[in-house]
Amino acid sequence: MIAGLVLAAGPGTRFGEQPKLLAELGGRPLLEHAVRAQCAVPELERVVIVLGAHADEVLERVDFGRAEPVVCEEWREGQGASLRRGAQEVAGAEKVLVTLGDAPLVTPALISHFLDQPAGTRAVYGGRPGHPVVLGPTHLRDIARLRGDHGARDLLRGGRTIECGHLGSGRDVDTPQDLEAIRNEARTVI
């Protein structure tokens, strides 16, 4: 099985009081763009969305389509907890393509570009690490040891990278200013 995993559990404190994943972009909540991108890739047999902070509001307002939202109760521990929760859900997959809920410009075409890549492959944008990231069974087992606000970066060290700056933007939203910059960039993508 090839699965998709969207990490969307963080509190987004730099964004302000409004949950950033519910901020409007192109008439939809920000998170919905990441969900739709993964769901639009038919080769992803399962798509799991890991929620945490503001989960109740997100569940009420986001259209998840065929994706399966799950809640990481330990979201306050950081990205490692979110990734562990997602890895539990997709255990047994031969490959998992990971994206972020606050990166709305990662397109289905970009995700599809990683379907045939080996585990340990990650996107880079102008040499800067980004998403999608391809995880395999060994990565999924190793993720169980992650603690704190650490993702799979160390597990991917030395793996293959693919420059994707010409295919799209790996930009994510941390602040209202980031969202405004993405709105300007999205006019050419969304």
Round to whole Å and give the CA distance between 38 and 48: 9
Q: Given this model, what pLDDT does residue 133 score?
A: 95
Q: Please give the pLDDT value at position 14.
A: 85
Number of domains in the chain: 1
Query: What is the model's pLDDT at position 147?
Result: 66
Q: In Å, how far are 3, 103, 188 from 37, measured between CA atoms?
A: 13, 10, 16
Output the CA–CA distances (angstroms, integers) from residue 146 to 9, 38, 94, 153, in the order listed: 16, 24, 20, 11
For residue 9, give the CATH number of its domain.
Answer: 3.90.550.10
Task: Please tell me the distance from the alpha carbon of residue 34 to that of residue 77, in angstroms, as a whole number.
Answer: 23
Query: Full-prediction pTM beyond 0.85?
Result: yes
Owning domain of residue 81: 2-186
Q: Can you give the pLDDT of all 190 residues of the chain as single tens digits?
A: 999 999 999 988 888 888 999 999 999 999 999 999 999 999 999 999 999 999 999 999 999 999 999 999 999 988 888 999 999 999 999 999 999 999 999 999 999 999 999 999 999 998 889 999 999 999 898 887 766 656 666 677 778 999 998 887 778 898 889 899 888 775 655 4
